[in-house]
């Protein structure tokens, strides 16, 4: 056999051993969005009119932090007679680099799709490493990403959706990296997710549970565990310090990223976070049904409904929790995930709007990584069950229907 033939055979054998699932998922997502966005008459890769982060990136290029003028259709903080972005800064960072290629016409619609797809692939990779069979890992990863109200956020790259989808991406990558032993990468991604959605800080405790579990499984002594985490902790704290500095030079407060200076909260009398909002949000986003009787019969509720129905993976998580309790499979790691989930949910319920016009309950997309985390601690879950397949199919169908209804 000639050298060329040997090389060709080696390449062929390598290609046969490769797992093509990530490429197939990317291809399936591209095909789906091409047809779906065509049906909705939306550009799948174009820019969004709600381009707050792009405006911030362009301001950075000009050496400015404020936007310098009002954009009446955007949510901007008004402080000392100037206009500022009222959202945490991390989503502007990738756009800063993209503006050198696209100027103000950044591919916002493409970015939100890419962010969720990367998060989905991170969950898939994590579950495969946990021993879940390939088809089941694909289904579970889709349940934790596209098979819920997160799908509707990927149609248009508006400012609110970029923040949530990028936070989802970083949170999922942080979990997958921690399970792989990439502690520094994990903690950096965790810090960046907080720079998209500040309440993601709650996610740190379950991430610590993953780290402890991983180190114990490898018999790493406590002293070495501490040393191994130091680089990631230091980098994460440096990133947090950058957030504090950025907030201080804008609003003279290291903890203020701008939302309190929105007109609705600064002088129109609204309260951003309050216990008085909790019951109303529970009525809307926990108890409300997805349909109501309208002028034309039954219509989809477009101002929020039960987050369990909007994200059916949470129904499965609830079933897994009940089964684990009765079968004595509940562990301290799972208990940490559950406790942090409810703390995170409660913090979201304190907010006045919970997202506004949307499919389902937009803010609860921040909770989806907890479902992936709970799965990662469930060593007995190697294959998706038939009832779960039914839930998966129904979830995908409802998510596609809901996204279409909201965007049409």
Q: Is 13 exposed, middle or buried (0-12, 13-18, 19+ CB in 10 A)?
A: exposed
Residue 318 belongs to a domain: yes
Q: What gap in Å lies between CA 242 and CA 239, rounded to an integer?
A: 5
Residue 171 belongs to a domain: yes
Cβ distance 166 to 176 under 8 Å? no
CA torsion sign for 336, 337, 343, 346 is negative
Other residues' Cβ atoms within 10 Å of the Cβ of residue 232: 23
Residue 2 belongs to a domain: no
Which CA distances in Å does 259 have to 1, 99, 157? 69, 25, 20
pLDDT confidence of residue 357? 82
Query: Mutual orientation of helices 134-143 and 386-407 as an angle, nearest 10°?
Result: 40
CA-based nearest residue to 151, from 351, 318, 326, 311: 311
pLDDT confidence of residue 120? 97
Cβ distance 174 to 195 under 8 Å? no
Which residue ranges in the chain fall short of pLDDT 50? none
Its pTM surpasses 0.85: yes
Tokens of 138: 């694909």
CA-based nearest residue to 388, from 154, 168, 147, 176: 147
Tokens of 145: 């990403």
Residue 15 belongs to a domain: no
User: Which residue spans within 247-287 are E strands per DSSP?
Assistant: none
Q: What gap in Å lies between CA 353 and CA 304, rounded to an integer?
A: 10
Cβ distance 229 to 204 under 8 Å? no
Strand-pair category, 297-300 with 76-79: unpaired
pLDDT confidence of residue 13? 56
Cβ distance 368 to 168 under 8 Å? yes
CA Rg value for the chain: 22
pLDDT confidence of residue 95? 97
Determine phi and psi for 324, rounding to 5 degrees: -65, -35
Domain range enclosing 357: 22-407
Residue 14 belongs to a domain: no
CA angle 152, 260, 369 (to 5 degrees): 35
Cβ distance 372 to 168 under 8 Å? no
pLDDT confidence of residue 222? 87
* Helices and strands, number each (H, E), in the chain: 17, 4
Tokens of 197: 């959605």
Residue 16 belongs to a domain: no
Cβ distance 92 to 60 under 8 Å? yes
Other residues' Cβ atoms within 10 Å of the Cβ of residue 338: 18
Residue 174 belongs to a domain: yes
Number of domains the chain is built from: 1
The SS3 call for residue 69 is coil
DSSP assignment of 240-306: HHHHHHHHHHHHS-TT--SGGGSHHHHTS---SB-GGGHHHHHIIIII--SEEEETTEEEE-TB---
Q: What gap in Å lies between CA 133 and CA 204, rounded to an integer?
A: 28
Residue 369 belongs to a domain: yes
């Amino acid at each position: 056999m000639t050298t060329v033939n040997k090389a060709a055979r080696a390449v062929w054998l390598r290609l046969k051993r490769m797992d093509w699932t990530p490429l197939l998922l990317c291809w399936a997502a591209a095909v789906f969005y091409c047809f779906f966005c065509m049906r909705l008459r939306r550009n799948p890769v174009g820019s969004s009119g709600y381009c707050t982060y792009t405006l911030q990136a362009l301001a950075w290029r000009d050496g400015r932090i404020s936007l310098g003028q009002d954009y009446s259709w955007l949510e901007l903080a008004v402080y000392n007679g100037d206009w500022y972005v009222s959202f945490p800064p991390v989503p502007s960072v990738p756009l800063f680099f993209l503006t050198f290629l696209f100027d103000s016409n950044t591919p916002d619609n493409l970015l939100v799709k890419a962010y969720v797809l990367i998060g989905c692939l991170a969950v898939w990779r994590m579950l495969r490493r946990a021993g879940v069979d390939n088809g089941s890992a694909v289904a579970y990863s889709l349940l934790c990403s596209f098979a819920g109200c997160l799908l509707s956020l990927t149609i248009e790259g508006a400012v609110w959706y970029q923040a949530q989808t990028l936070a989802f991406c970083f949170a999922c990558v942080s979990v997958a990296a921690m399970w792989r032993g990439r502690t520094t990468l994990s903690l950096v991604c965790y810090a960046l997710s907080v720079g998209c959605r500040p309440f993601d800080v709650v996610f740190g405790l379950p991430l610590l549970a993953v780290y402890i579990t991983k180190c114990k499984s490898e018999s790493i002594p406590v002293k070495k565990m501490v040393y191994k985490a130091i680089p990631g902790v230091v980098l994460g704290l440096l990133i947090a310090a950058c957030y504090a500095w950025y907030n201080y030079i804008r609003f003279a407060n290291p903890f203020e990223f701008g939302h309190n200076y929105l007109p609705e909260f600064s002088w129109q009398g609204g309260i951003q976070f309050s216990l008085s909002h909790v019951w109303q949000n529970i009525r809307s986003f926990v108890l409300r049904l997805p349909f109501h009787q309208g002028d034309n019969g039954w219509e989809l509720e477009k101002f929020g409904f039960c987050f369990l129905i909007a994200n059916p993976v949470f129904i499965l998580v609830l079933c897994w929790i009940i089964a684990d309790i009765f079968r004595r499979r509940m562990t301290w790691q799972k208990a940490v995930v559950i406790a942090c989930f409810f703390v995170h949910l409660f913090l979201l319920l304190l907010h006045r709007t919970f997202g506004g016009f949307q499919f389902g309950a937009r803010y609860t997309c921040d909770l989806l990584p907890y479902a992936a985390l709970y799965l990662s601690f469930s060593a007995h879950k190697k294959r998706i069950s038939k009832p779960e397949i039914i839930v998966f199919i129904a979830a995908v169908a409802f998510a596609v229907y809901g996204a279409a209804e909201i965007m049409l």
